[in-house]
Amino acid sequence: MANAARSAAPKKQNDFQRRMARCYDEMKWLYCELYHGDEAAFAYFTGMLERSWAQRKTALRRQDKRREENPNWYRRQDLLGMMLYTDAFAGTLQGVEEKLPYIRDCGVNYLHLMPLLQSPKGRSDGGYAVSDFRTVEPRLGTMEDLEHLADACRKRGISLCLDFVMNHTSEDHEWARKARAGEPGYRERYFFYDSWDIPREFEKTVPQVFPTTAPGSFTWLEDCHQVVMTNFYPYQWDLNYANPVVFNDMTENLLYLTNRGVDVIRLDAVPYIWKELGTSCRNLPQVHTLVRLMRMACEVVCPGVLLLGEVVMEPAKVAPYFGTPEKPECHMLYNVTTMATTWHTLATGDVSLLRHQMDAVCALPRDFLFLNYLRCHDDIGWGLDYPWLKDRFGMEEVAHKKFLNDWFTGKWPGSDSRGELYNDDPRLGDARLCGTTASLCGVEAADYEGDRDKLERSVACDLMLHAWMLSQSGIPILYSGDEIGQLNDYSYHQDPEKADDSRYIHRGAFRWDLAELRTDGATRQGMQFLPLRKMEKIRAEEPCFSAEAEVSTEDSGSCHVLAVCRRLENRELICLFNFSGEFVQASVDRQGTYRDLMYGVCRDGLETVPLYPHSFAWLLREEP
């Protein structure tokens, strides 16, 4: 009888079954609603998830369990990110692994490797035209090298982030080649048309992504006499996610990368992935269904993995990609509008728009986690709140964009900034901006002129901007080279494959010779690296920088100074940032003793706080 009772006891569920049971009903409902009740496709999807889980190695499963037990592991205030190109930084993936001690010396524990999967030479868009989602670009290494690097990062407490280009494939991808040849089942993975009739209808409502360098959203294929959708570049073919085979196979590709040890998947160009005639093909409701399904797929197979959404739009369109507490989508999103507004503020010296922007961010739920940055691999687009600027200051969008671009390319009187334009469109009076943080702050001009006073002021500007980035809630991300103030690299002009893309001005080879000088405070590199490391350590240790802190802006008494208050229990931190090139006095309505976290100086009250040009202050009050 005892044996019979034991045999009748319910079988213990494994981790996959337990996790699947938790979200199965919602997953099936969303999938079948999106794909018109296609239960065969759904059965394949769930079978693929179980197969992917079975292939996940022991070390990753252990990490999954630890992170399940501590679901807020990625909200720690000591997280510091860095993004880099493998070839520019260290040549190969093995080279990056050899340089991990340097990365840790920078305080970095979140490493974002820019696209490194196989892409055709000369038609890669910087690696965003993937021809094989399971093969590393041979010149960078192998998939085994990537997995070995991920293992090495995990042992050092570094989370590894990788881009997942989900909107399109390269025209060289196996699916695209078979589609071009007319093989059954493959043209349905893309958007193929026999004539321009439907494409022209799409183009009536779909904005162009690159109106100058790649106008239009479709490309004629002469060899097969077909038109194919190409929203980005002609060699990047948009995938048709209305086909469940596409979603199933792309999700499996995503999970293949997580099973190599990738901790964070950056969902590239996610707002574009669902297309519908008569719409802008941006941010459609089906996009959120797909992201929610991907989130659940990861929670079932690899719950230790995070989804980072690349949504380069204003806050109102960004926030929905977090989902809801009951039905979350992305774990993290980029704070792109604040980044663009920061550079506007540096050029104008007026913090009004930045304060307005921060008030909007501070009003969002505290659970929303943003990645904050000054520079990234891409250009700076002037996606500012122009209706607010026009209403408040009478600013016209086209004229203001021209001013910003003139300022940051050094054409405006008094500007020492050195940048270059990207995708300049004289018809629309629009262009975007490229350049390293240091060069945009004037370090390059000061270095070239050999002007020590100007150099100190420009370095102070660079450090003030980094202090501002570190003061925001979320995860701060450095762009590789910014920690040593790397300057623009103009050599791309002599490279035929890069010359037409000015973004390569800030994608130059990492200067290891200059990095060796970083601990010498007498050098420019030391002038930037050492104070930055001090700021990063303060941020990691001071409780007011916790994600739990209450954050608000304050009246600083000056249009040049942004004042941000961070409160946690009995501690209050007032952060002041002088965005002007003049000596100013800030005035914040505060009494009590405040200690400067950078310099240790104490002051009674904040009625009069002197600030040097482009300087900052972190002022802490501790109540007994």
The answer to whether the CB of 171 falls within 8 A of the CB of 237 is: yes
Predicted model pTM: 0.95
Is 171 one of the annotated active-site residues of the chain?
no
**Which tens digit of pLDDT belongs to each residue from 348-379?**
999 999 999 999 999 998 889 999 999 999 99
**Which tens digit of pLDDT belongs to each residue from 399-416?**
999 999 999 999 999 999
Is 310 one of the annotated active-site residues of the chain?
yes
CATH number assigned to the domain comprising residue 597: 2.60.40.1180
Q: Residue 423: its pLDDT value, please?
A: 82
**Which tens digit of pLDDT belongs to each residue from 241-286?**
999 999 999 999 999 999 999 999 999 999 999 999 999 999 999 9
Confidence check: pLDDT of 6 > 80: no
Residue 495 lies in a domain: no
Residue 588 lies in a domain: yes
Residues in contact with 239: Cβ distance below 8 Å, sequence separation at least 6, in sequence order: 166, 167, 168, 169, 189, 190, 246, 250, 273
Q: Residue 313: its pLDDT value, please?
A: 78
**Which tens digit of pLDDT belongs to each residue from 577-624?**
999 999 999 999 999 999 999 999 999 999 999 999 999 999 999 875
Half-sphere exposure of 532 (CA within 13 A, CB side): 29
Strands in 602-604's sheet, in edge-to-edge order, are 550-554, 561-568, 571-578, 616-622, 593-596, 602-604
Confidence check: pLDDT of 140 > 80: yes
Average pLDDT for 499-523: 96
Residue 604 lies in a domain: yes
Q: Residue 1: its pLDDT value, please?
A: 42
Could you give the angle at the alpha carbon of 75 between the alpha carbons of 73 and 80, nearest 5°?
Answer: 100
Our count of domains for the chain comes to 1
Quote the distance between the C-alpha of residue 323 and its chain's center.
Answer: 18
Residue count of the chain, please give it. Answer: 624
Residue type, 542: E
Catalytic entry in 125, 145, 310, 536? 310
pLDDT band, very low/low/confident/very high, at 381 (cuts 50, 70, 90): very high
Residue 19 lies in a domain: no
Residue 603 lies in a domain: yes
Higher-confidence residue of 430 and 407: namely 407
Residue labelled with tokens 């054409």: 411
Catalytic entry in 147, 238, 252, 268? 268
Alpha carbon distance 465, 76 (integer Å): 22
Using alpha carbons, select from 257, 244, 251, 247 the residue that is nearest to residue 55: 257
Residue type, 46: T
211 burial (CB, 10 Å; 0-12 / 13-18 / 19+) is middle
**Which tens digit of pLDDT belongs to each residue from 193-216?**
999 999 999 999 999 988 877 889
Residue labelled with tokens 């969902």: 267
Q: Reduce the secondary structure of 191-260 to three states and give it as a string.
A: CEECCCHHHHHHHCCCCCCECCCECCCEEEECCCCEEEECCCCCCEEECCCCCHHHHHHHHHHHHHHHCC
SS3 53: helix
**Which tens digit of pLDDT belongs to each residue from 300-310?**
999 999 999 99
Residue 566 lies in a domain: yes
Query: Between the CA of residue 167 and those of 206, 218, 269, 286, what are the distances in Å?
Result: 15, 14, 6, 14
Residue 571 lies in a domain: yes
Alpha carbon distance 400, 38 (integer Å): 51
Alpha carbon distance 236, 598 (integer Å): 48
Using alpha carbons, select from 461, 426, 485, 472 the residue that is nearest to residue 345: 461
The answer to whether the CB of 142 falls within 8 A of the CB of 94 is: no
496 burial (CB, 10 Å; 0-12 / 13-18 / 19+) is exposed
Residue 151 lies in a domain: no
Confidence check: pLDDT of 571 > 90: yes
The answer to whether the CB of 409 falls within 8 A of the CB of 343 is: no
The answer to whether the CB of 279 falls within 8 A of the CB of 75 is: no
Rounded to a whole number of angstroms, the CA Rg of the chain reads: 25
Domain range for 618: 546-622
